[in-house]
Amino acid sequence: MPARTVLQSSDITRALTRISHEILESNRGGSDLVLLGIPTRGAVLAERIATLLDRIEPGAGTVGALDVTMYRDDLDRHPTRTPSPTRLPAGGIDGKTVVLVDDVLYSGRTIRAALDAIGDLGRPRAVRLAVLVDRGHRELPIRADFVGKNLPTAAVERIFVKLVETDGADAVTIEGDAEGESA
């Protein structure tokens, strides 16, 4: 089955703008707010959200990146990507509201790894989760606080997030044969 485009560039921009407003509303402003993007595309999305936050409320929040590669519990089953450096804002995360940013929420294992990594880096006041796409199929009791788009999928389907900064274009596509499960 060919790839289906489910979000185009304008859809992604709208979703990130909405998420940015929701983050500010939930946090009652942008003070003591830290966005930590999970590489690769989560870090790009965190940078975009930080730019939007600054447009809405100048000086709102700081941004960094949180590599969770070595905190994953499935390293023996999946090929490991090259770890990226973790970058924390100068003020750190102690006492701050940390918003983890990722592209797709699936099993919840990446976010569990991120929570473990955060525990080694400091003690935030609160941790929230923002994702561009929530596709379901959770294996752990984790849910996103801010979701760009809920896309229920079959387990055999795959979601691909493409961003201008990493892929040359913005789009979210689904590939796979959802019908193949029942055949």
**pTM (2 d.p.):** 0.93
Q: Can you give 44-83 as a three-state secondary structure string?
A: HHHHHHHHHHHHHCCCCCEEEECCCHHHCCCCCCCCCCCC
pLDDT in tens, the chain (183 residues): 789 999 999 999 999 999 999 999 999 999 999 999 999 999 999 999 999 999 999 999 899 999 999 898 877 776 667 788 999 999 999 999 999 999 999 999 999 999 999 999 999 999 999 999 999 999 999 999 999 999 999 989 999 999 999 999 999 999 986 554 433
How do 97-105 and 62-65 pair as beta strands? unpaired
CATH of the domain spanning 10-73+86-153: 3.40.50.2020
Local structure of 154: helix, strand or coil = coil
